[in-house]
Amino acid sequence: MTARAPQPRLPDPANGTGEVGEVGDAGDAGGVSRRRLLGVSGTAAVAGIVAGATSAYAVSQASAATAAQEAGPTTAPALGLDAAIPFRGEHQAGIVTPAQDRLHFVALDVVTKDRAQLRELLETWTRAAERMTAGAEAAPGGLVGGGPNRAPEDTGEAYGLPASGLTITIGYGPSLFDDRFGLADRKPAALEELPPFVGDQLDPKRSGGDLCIQACANDPQVAVHAVRNLVRMGFGVVAVRWSQLGFGRTSSTSTAQATPRNMFGFKDGTNNVKAEEPEGLDRHVWVAPEDEKGGGAWMAGGSYLVARRIRMHIEVWDRTSLQEQEDVIGRDKKEGAPLGQAKEFDALDFAKRGPDGTPAIPVNAHVRLAHESQLGGIRILRRGYNFTDGSDGVGHLDAGLFFLAYMRDPAKQFVPMQRALASKDLLNEYIEHNGSAVFACPPGLQDGEHWGQSLFA
């Protein structure tokens, strides 16, 4: 063990006093070695955090420097990928935050009938989440501070690792507002179960949930540690309903990020709503005060999250010609340019025709059907991840896109968009939606606030 640097003031999940907490001793400078193991190419992802233009990202850099100091003298200087993202703010982190490389998403059901226990857990979670996003243990002295006779309050696998851009985003499902906790009159009007769509193959064991936690980080161990510790704290109050690991973001949420590729090998996220578009975010992502007049007024500044587990039949795709693949998507594979154009960010021209006189972007191509011009101006912020969950027992990889999208009103945005795609998208031959959920993600927290307050006010 090395000598410890001065300790930061972080909340104690157990008592809420804001007492001094213990930050993971950097030990063997695990941050840097783990980053190398990750094999993440530095520039694009670092640019995503370092070069972000808004003041929030400047703050994140300040936090990163602080976290590096707190983590002890043997920690390597904070790199962009290691940085801490501010936990508090107008909106929850993890929505427009430049998408990190890894995801651990969990949907939970509340198993207690005691309203006070749920409120208390949300308060405990807030403190632990704030600590972990700063690179600290889930609770002060979590690793060994409880002594030899008690189970540690932090499971330990992220001890010594940097914050790694961890964000923890919470959401509430429609079922939380039934008659169990007296929350029926607090239900936001826009929080409705999604309707069935043509072709849905939904598995109830991969759908729904009273609550969700989205943990994103540039180190998978940090994301998994966050979810594991929050679930552990919730024992007896909540139980995991389903979860999903994701690798390789499939969207850029900042213009500073390079566009990643999905499991079909195409650039995904080119035409996303981005952090640098404040008007677009207000119009399409953040719930406005006038959106919710009744008991759901607490959602102002929040956003609705739609999660869909979409299996991609990659063996079929891999036997499909390049021309067919590009026609299905409506963009070229290498550059990501709209068909008929040359560069990735060129505008889509739906009137343009190819040499044979047919539309350059086929009428049922994915990007045509999903484009705002075909949907009355609708847009959403996509923040999904690739997944591969082993194989299905009959020789195929169980791989796909864990589609996550944030929006102001699912009924006015996701539902019409998905209806259009479900009925006509050429992509449907190659994909299958087998999990689905919708959550209301509350606004960000100001100093001293915790998640239970606005919900139970």
Ligand X SMILES: C=CC1=C(C)c2cc3[nH]c(cc4nc(cc5[nH]c(cc1n2)c(C)c5CCC(=O)O)C(CCC(=O)O)=C4C)c(C)c3C=C
Provide the binding-site residues for ligand X, judged by CB under 6 A.
Answer: 262, 264, 266-272, 308, 310, 312, 329, 331, 348, 366-367, 370-372, 380, 400-401, 403, 414, 417-418, 421, 431
CB 227 within 8 A of CB 243: yes
The two structure tokens encoding residue 98: 């430049």
* Closest approach of ligand X to the CB of residue 429, in Å: 12
Q: Is 124 helix (H, G, I), strand (E, B) or coil?
A: helix
Q: Is 143 helix (H, G, I), strand (E, B) or coil?
A: coil
Around 404, how many Cα atoms within 13 Å sit in the side-chain half-sphere?
Answer: 34
The single residue listed with the structure tokens 């049922």 is 364
CA distances 56 to 96, 203, 374, Å, are 10, 38, 34
427 contacts 367 by C-beta, under 8 angstroms: no
Residue 392 CB, shortest distance to ligand X, in Å, is: 16
Closer CB to ligand X, residue 35 or residue 383? Answer: 383
- Of 186 and 331, which CB lies nearer to ligand X in the complex structure? 331
CB of 447 to ligand X, least distance (A): 36
**Minimal distance, residue 99 CB to ligand X, in Å:** 12
Q: Find where tokens 């703050």 sit.
A: 59
Distance between CA atoms of 346 and 361, rounded to whole angstroms?
A: 13
User: What is each CA distance from 275 to 54, 254, 363, in whole angstroms?
Assistant: 8, 5, 30
C-alpha span between 129 and 132 (Å, rounded): 5
The CA-to-CA distance between both ends of the chain, in Å, stands at 45
Q: Measured from the CB atom, is 139 or 367 closer to ligand X?
A: 367
Q: How far apart are CA 36 and CA 147, in angstroms?
A: 34
* CB crowding 187-206: b at 16 or more within 10 Å, else e: bbebbeebeebeebebeeeb
Which are the contacts of 249, defined by CB distance < 8 A and separation ≥ 6?
99, 100, 101, 103, 260, 269, 383, 384, 385, 386
Q: In whole angstroms, how close is the CB of 320 to ligand X at the nearest point?
A: 13
Beta carbon nearer to ligand X, 115 or 261? 261
| 238-249 vs 102-110, strand pairing mode | antiparallel
Closer to ligand X by Cβ: residue 400 or 435: 400
Q: How far is the CB of 308 from ligand X (least distance, A)?
A: 6
Q: With respect to ligand X, which residue has the nearer C-beta, 110 or 381? A: 381
**Residue 428: CB minimum distance to ligand X, A:** 9
Least distance to ligand X, CB of residue 326, Å? 10
Closer of 235 and 345 to ligand X (Cβ) = 345
Nearer of residues 238 and 380 to ligand X, judged by Cβ: 380
Q: How far is the CB of 271 from ligand X (least distance, A)?
A: 3
- Closer CB to ligand X, 49 or 310, in the complex: 310
